[in-house]
Amino acid sequence: MIPVKKEDLRKLVTDTTVEIYEELTPQLVKLIQDTKKNTELTEGQKQDEISLHMMGYVKSCTNEIIIQVLSEILGLEDEDEE
């Protein structure tokens, strides 16, 4: 769907955002759980690692949202779909 109105674009971005966050959340949860279980790290180090995981998660989600929305608008396909 190529949005023709601002509201259409807003819906596309919102739907894509929900989809991407749901897709990538299990990976973040696993990283956080693994970090919490790491006995080689102090509590402070664990919190630092978790913060880094969360920043990386947001960055990855944002990048993927941009790619997905632009791909939809521009009609780009994945390489394996060609």
DSSP H helical ranges for 1-82:
6-37, 43-74
- Provide the 3-class DSSP secondary structure of residue 42: coil
Q: Render pLDDT for 1-57 as a digit per residue (tens, 0 to 9).
A: 789 999 999 999 999 999 999 999 999 999 999 999 999 999 999 999 999 999 999
pLDDT class for 81, splitting at 50, 70, 90? Answer: low
In this prediction the pTM is 0.82
Q: Minimal CA–CA distance to 64: which of 6, 27, 21, 14?
A: 21
